[in-house]
Amino acid sequence: MRRSRSGFTLLELMLVLAILAALAYMAVPRFAGRARRAKVATAGTDIRLNLPAALDMYELDSGIYPTTQQGLAALIEKPVTEPAPAGWDGPYLRRPVLPRDPWGNPYVYRHPPTRPGLDYEILSAGPDGIEGTADDITNWE
């Protein structure tokens, strides 16, 4: 009487694992690059659209932008430091917490700006978290 064969041999299992490893080797770098690009795009949207829209609403109501010291927190709670915004009508952000960049770092805000021609500066220090490096995402470039 012959036994019926069930299951896989070790060779068959190793072949399947080798094929899966080769597919993962080809696919993972493509997804890793997309994840990085998605984070850069998210930070760019916050810096060039979302935060400026909230800051502009703040300025329309108050007549001034928050100072560097007051920071982006002024978009959530009325600042108590001078110059206190008389017409504050916030919060100006949907969520009651300050947004962070996609790498978990706070956005940097400056008013008055250090660069001419800007109302304020907003930046993310990028993936390395170090301000002033090539991977920074800013509202002036």
Task: Give the pLDDT of the chain (141 residues) as one tens digit per residue.
Answer: 566 667 778 888 888 888 888 888 777 777 767 888 899 999 999 999 999 999 999 999 999 999 999 999 999 999 999 998 989 999 999 988 999 999 999 999 999 999 999 999 999 999 999 999 999 999 998
Q: Looking at residue 2, what is its pLDDT? A: 61
Distance CA 74, CA 24 (A): 46
Locate tokens 């080769």: which residue?
22
pTM of the model: 0.77
Q: Looking at residue 34, what is its pLDDT? A: 81
Q: Looking at residue 100, what is its pLDDT? A: 96
The region that residue 45 occupies, defined by phi over 0 for left and psi between -120 and 50 for alpha, beta otherwise, is alpha
| Complete domains list, the chain, with CATH | 11-138 (3.30.700.10)
Distance CA 58, CA 45 (A): 19
